[in-house]
Amino acid sequence: DSSVESPRIKPINKGAVHRICAGQVILDLPSAVKELVENSLDAGATSIEIALKEYGEESFQVIDNGCGISPHNFKVLALKHHTSKLSDFPDLQSLTTFGFRGEALSSLCALGDLTVETRTKNEPVATHLTFDHSGLLTAERKTARQIGTTVTVKKLFFNLPVRSKEFHRNIRKEYGKLISLLNAYALIAKGVRLVCTNTTGRNVKAVVLKTQGSGSLKDNIIAVFGMSTFNCLELVCLCISDGCKVDGFLSKPGYGSGRNLGDRQFFFVNGRPVDMPKVSKLVNELYKGANSRQYPIAIMNFTVPTGACDVNVTPDKRKIFFSDEGSILRSLREALEKIYSPSHASYSVSRFE
């Protein structure tokens, strides 16, 4: 149709681009808090407290005793694609940190009010930093603090109308998802004391999750789910294809968890919590052979060579590409078939009921 003019192509305004991209990194309350917890773990913290106000709706804060942030980094701290963890593409192959894209703090600035308090071992006092929505440092003052970092976010999603409405309407649901996600970090972070508190009403502070900083997965499971749940699990340690092993805990036959699919199933790749729908499906399917009424609890860490998996698939890094997923799933199936075979299962369901 010759009456239609070809529209002019022009760049989107910088602030709008920032907000658009930020909304893809920070999807919801759980992903916002997750980024901060991962930063604390990357900073070598052995103690991390997640302090929520009104289930995270009013504010959330992550307080760590990690290495802190040096003053020369203050100005660039919340700038997009500024990171201390990666400088060139090949680094991705050997990456061991949770973060590497330098997007979290910049995105949180775009979507809420961000302040940071931090101190390294070289500073006698801490500094309190305020950032604007484009990630620029706007104020800086001295304050008292131990070595480490506190990041506080208020008014999350104030400028994304749809997300903001969802956030406030579904806050309890978001909170539930957040606790489940924090459980994953609490389980896998060995030697890290992780505490989550929620303050509601007139300063009523409740501890909703607490681990002791033990070096064993077993102790973390007991801290998160309790001894009686732990007693229903058995240790699995499987060598599957070349250089790839799986270890963790699975429900004993006959001692599954609730009837909800995916309830209490946690998968990790090299210690990174991820979604593994195919593995979950496989575990559920084979467990059925031993117990048709319940789903198993599963806490499974896959150790694979860092070059054999790609975590840079989705902005939240929950999805993983394996270079040879087919063979991993095949060997896992063989190994699980043995665990949940009728002969192994015989000591459970019938004898204990």
Task: Summarize as ranges the residues that interact with ligand ADP (CB under 6 A).
Answer: 35, 39-40, 43, 64, 66-69, 77, 83-85, 99-106, 149
Residue 84 binding partner per list ligand ADP, Mg ion, none, with a CB distance cut-off of 5 to 8 Å that depends on partner kind: ligand ADP
> Which string of DSSP letters, residue by residue, matches 162-207?
HHHHHHHHTHHHHHHHHHHHHHHHHHH-TT-EEEEEEEETTTEEEE
Compute CA distances 321 → 81, 170, 304, 312, 324, whole Å.
23, 31, 12, 9, 9
Closer Cβ to Mg ion, 42 or 49, answer by number: 42
Alpha-carbon gap, residue 74 to 23, rounded angstroms: 24
Closer Cβ to ligand ADP, 100 or 131, answer by number: 100
What does DSSP assign to residue 259? S
Residue 102 C-beta: closest distance to ligand ADP, Å: 4
Residue 38 C-beta: closest distance to ligand ADP, Å: 7
Number of Cβ atoms within 10 Å of the Cβ of 235: 10
Closer Cβ to ligand ADP, 91 or 242, answer by number: 91
Residue 233 C-beta: closest distance to ligand ADP, Å: 32
Name the residue whose CB lies closest to ligand ADP: 99
Strands in 126-131's sheet, in edge-to-edge order, are 137-143, 126-131, 113-119, 148-154, 59-64, 47-53, 193-200, 204-210
Closer Cβ to ligand ADP, 83 or 257, answer by number: 83
Residue 100 binding partner per list ligand ADP, Mg ion, none, with a CB distance cut-off of 5 to 8 Å that depends on partner kind: ligand ADP
Closer Cβ to Mg ion, 39 or 251, answer by number: 39
Residue 352 C-beta: closest distance to ligand ADP, Å: 46
Tokens of 327: 């063979």
Residue 198 C-beta: closest distance to ligand ADP, Å: 21
Residue 42 C-beta: closest distance to Mg ion, Å: 7
Residue pair 111/159 in contact by the 8 Å Cβ criterion? yes
Residue 137 C-beta: closest distance to ligand ADP, Å: 13
Residue 298 binding partner per list Mg ion, ligand ADP, none, with a CB distance cut-off of 5 to 8 Å that depends on partner kind: none
Residue 280 binding partner per list ligand ADP, Mg ion, none, with a CB distance cut-off of 5 to 8 Å that depends on partner kind: none
Closer Cβ to ligand ADP, 73 or 260, answer by number: 73
Q: 29-42 and 171-188 helices cross at what angle (nearest 10)?
A: 20
Closer Cβ to ligand ADP, 102 or 254, answer by number: 102
Which residues are at the interface with Mg ion (CB under 5 A)? 39, 99, 104
Going through the chain in order, the beta strands assigned E by DSSP cover: 47-53, 59-64, 113-119, 126-131, 137-143, 148-154, 193-200, 204-210, 233-240, 244-251, 265-269, 272-274, 298-303, 309-310, 321-322
Q: Residue 339 half-sphere exposure, CB side, CA atoms within 13 Å?
A: 26
Name the residue whose CB lies closest to Mg ion: 99
Tokens of 7: 């529209």
Residue 23 binding partner per list ligand ADP, Mg ion, none, with a CB distance cut-off of 5 to 8 Å that depends on partner kind: none
